[in-house]
Chain A
Amino acid sequence: MPILEIKNISKAYGSHRVFDGLTLDVEEHQVVCLIGASGCGKSTLLRCINGLEPIGSGEILIHSDRVSGPGVDVNALRRDVGIVFQSYNLFPHMTVMENITLAPRKVLNQPAREAEVQARHLLERIGLGQKANVYPDSLSGGQQQRVAIVRALAMGPMIMLLDEITSALDPELVSEVLNIVRDLAADGMTMVLATHEMGFAREVATKVCFLAEGKVYEEGPPEQIFSEPQGERTQAFLKRIVAAGRL
């Protein structure tokens, strides 16, 4: 029984059709990597899953419960589904501690003390215990992105969506962020991630989905997709990736 089901969804921006009957299942504890050309809709798909973007037709189910369309409590949905963005999007006027505890306090009504204890624990866990009281702009990109991950984790999500979380980072900062994702995967967090880090996708993914033509054009275990891609477009895409020295 998949924990997340995306059934035959369509979406268009004006006349530009981003999804045209896209279907995707995610099992519990699975790490699903979305790959595909820039503009193929990876970010849009993640934003649709947690209700930041409406979908045109089709439906999205979490735990067999429909979470798309009218009447859905999006705030409840977002408690179960955390998302981390490419550009971190930390709140610049709040300290790291405030960034992390805001939503638990205001949305889950956790007492401030409890939220802080939890936040401190999470920060220690990612090696940023010293940074609780600084503002985001004094952190490196890698540190900011780690805080953004922890901010999402503080809500206790069932599923994490990661949208190219290392694309904005200097190369030497990428590994500190990927290490957290590895740890999460090892702990059994269900994750859907859009990524350009093909090596990393190959390593952590249980399933790789290549998006093209508004659909999941090809999906399978990483060895199969990266070593023997079947579809013409998958092959062409991977050839370009290899030519760019990224695989």
Chain B
Amino acid sequence: MTMAHEINKERPSGLFPERRAFTSGAAPRDVTGWATTAVITALVIVFAFWATLRRLYGVSLTLGVSDYVLMPAAVILSIAVLAILIPAARSVSRARAARQCVSSGDLVNARILTSAASDCAYYTFGFAALLVAVIGFAQFLVANDLAVSRTFLLIPLMWHSFPLVFKAFWLNVYIFVVAEILVLVWGLIVAIARLMPGETARPIRAMATLYTDIFRGMPAIITMYLVGFGLPLSGVPLLGNLSAETYAIIALTLTFGAYVAEVYKAGIESIHWSQVAAARSLGLSYLQTMRHIIVPQAVRRIIPPLLNDFIGLQKDTALVNVIGAIDAFNQAKIISSNNFNLSAVTVVAFIFIAITIPQARLVDRMLEKDQRRLRGG
């Protein structure tokens, strides 16, 4: 048996309003307008798509592509695009049903249907945006009597240049693999120097800070140029007579060492100071604390930003072409100028994109996992 709690009516505590009516329970707003807009948008997109398809079809025929391939493809695509009408139509029917529910006083179902109707409408708009991009790109390719396609995407030339370009790409791979290993070590050294505690370490901190400031501020292409031409010119012993790819590795290590030092530093600083207090209070020295407590915990957190920097480094290996090494980009440029056509360069672009996309997705996945872990507490 529960007894009603006795309430003092005369002397309210003053902590909450005396009388207050519930405001939940109003009818949902009407979304028929949105639904109708979705249908109109969908129809416009369908017609634009059909028109573009017709143009592509005609152009492809003149290029000598077989009609046995083209016809079925065109038919399938023109039917497939009708899919955008499905969510649009659903949106309208749900919005109507919601209205009926409101007039018959069924507010709960009215809200459910309204929310479904607006979801369908938003989905339609998103789909439409995607198709607008596709249509725009297709129109760009066929513009000016196919000039764009011929300049960038001449299939036979791409086919022939691929083996040469791909072979030259191994130089890029060599450069970024060696540079990445060096950057991992060098960046950590710089980060630890920047974080050295105490008055006595001030000069070391200043030096490390100056280094990161300079190399993060300097465009990588200038570092590459200065290292690749400057060192040989000055004839410094040991450093004056190296191969172009070695200079590239030095330049990229200097540039990305500065970025990665920042990543390490942020990672180390993200470990709560109480971990340092706990380790130091057990008698561990500063370096032991770094080695056993801080760095192992920081490494887990910095892998995503580190991979991001590595993607940047991999792309920047193309900068070796300023100092004359024959990497994939330089090879492609040679082919391009021999043929007055950029399709070989497009091949390089595709190769770079192909190796960086998996890494980008991996970073996304890791960040997502981190987020989930954080939200999980």
Q: What is the distance, in angstroms, from B181's C-beta to the closest C-beta of chain A?
A: 24
Distance between Cα atoms of A78 and B286 in the complex (Å): 13
Which residues of B sit under 8 angstroms from A79, Cβ to Cβ?
283
Contact between A155 and B283, CB atoms less than 8 A apart: yes
Q: What is the distance, in angstroms, from A99's C-beta to the closest C-beta of chain B?
A: 9
Does B54 make an interface contact (CB < 8 A)? no
Q: What is the distance, in angstroms, from A90's C-beta to the closest C-beta of chain B?
A: 8
Counting chain B residues whose Cβ lies within 8 A of the other chain, the interface size class is 10 to 19
Distance between Cα atoms of A231 and B167 in the complex (Å): 87
Contact between B280 and A85, CB atoms less than 8 A apart: no
With A91-B293, A102-B292, A106-B292: A78-B283 Cβ-Cβ less than 8 Å: yes
Within 8 A of A (CB), among B289-347: 292-293, 296-297, 300
Distance between Cα atoms of A237 and B43 in the complex (Å): 76
Which residues of B sit under 8 angstroms from A85, Cβ to Cβ?
274, 277-278
- Per-residue interface assignment for chain A, residues 66 to 97, with 1 indicating a CB less than 8 Å from any chain B CB and 0 otherwise: 00000000111011001101010111110000
Distance between Cα atoms of A79 and B285 in the complex (Å): 12
Does A103 make an interface contact (CB < 8 A)? yes
Contact between A103 and B293, CB atoms less than 8 A apart: no
Does A52 make an interface contact (CB < 8 A)? yes
Does B270 make an interface contact (CB < 8 A)? no
Identify which of A47, A75, A90, A93 contacts B283 (C-beta below 8 A): A75
Contact between A106 and B275, CB atoms less than 8 A apart: no
With A92-B297, A93-B296, A93-B297: A102-B277 Cβ-Cβ less than 8 Å: no
Which residues of A sit under 8 angstroms from B279, Cβ to Cβ?
91
With A91-B293, A102-B292: A83-B281 Cβ-Cβ less than 8 Å: yes
Contact between B297 and A52, CB atoms less than 8 A apart: no
Which residues of B sit under 8 angstroms from A74, Cβ to Cβ?
280
- Per-residue interface assignment for chain A, residues 85 to 127, with 1 indicating a CB less than 8 Å from any chain B CB and 0 otherwise: 1010111110000000011001110000000000000000000
Does A151 make an interface contact (CB < 8 A)? yes
Does A152 make an interface contact (CB < 8 A)? yes
Does A50 make an interface contact (CB < 8 A)? yes
Residue ID in chain B nearest A91 by CB atoms: B293
Contact between B282 and A78, CB atoms less than 8 A apart: yes
Distance between Cα atoms of A78 and B278 in the complex (Å): 11
Contact between A89 and B277, CB atoms less than 8 A apart: yes
Does B288 make an interface contact (CB < 8 A)? yes
Does B284 make an interface contact (CB < 8 A)? yes
Which residues of B sit under 8 angstroms from A76, Cβ to Cβ?
283
Distance between Cα atoms of A19 and B181 in the complex (Å): 50
Contact between A52 and B285, CB atoms less than 8 A apart: no
Distance between Cα atoms of A47 and B284 in the complex (Å): 16
Distance between Cα atoms of A70 and B305 in the complex (Å): 40
Residue ID in chain A nearest B292 by CB atoms: A102
Interface residues of B (CB under 8 A from A): 274-275, 277-285, 288, 292-293, 296-297, 300
Known contacts A79-B283, A87-B274, A155-B282, then 20 further A-B pairs from the complex at CB < 8 Å, ordered by chain A residue: A47-B277, A50-B281, A52-B277, A75-B285, A82-B282, A83-B281, A85-B277, A85-B278, A89-B277, A91-B279, A91-B293, A102-B282, A103-B282, A106-B288, A106-B292, A107-B282, A107-B283, A107-B288, A151-B282, A152-B281
In the complex, 6 of the A-B residue pairs with CB atoms within 8 angstroms, ordered by the A residue number, are A75-B283, A75-B285, A76-B283, A89-B275, A89-B278, A155-B283
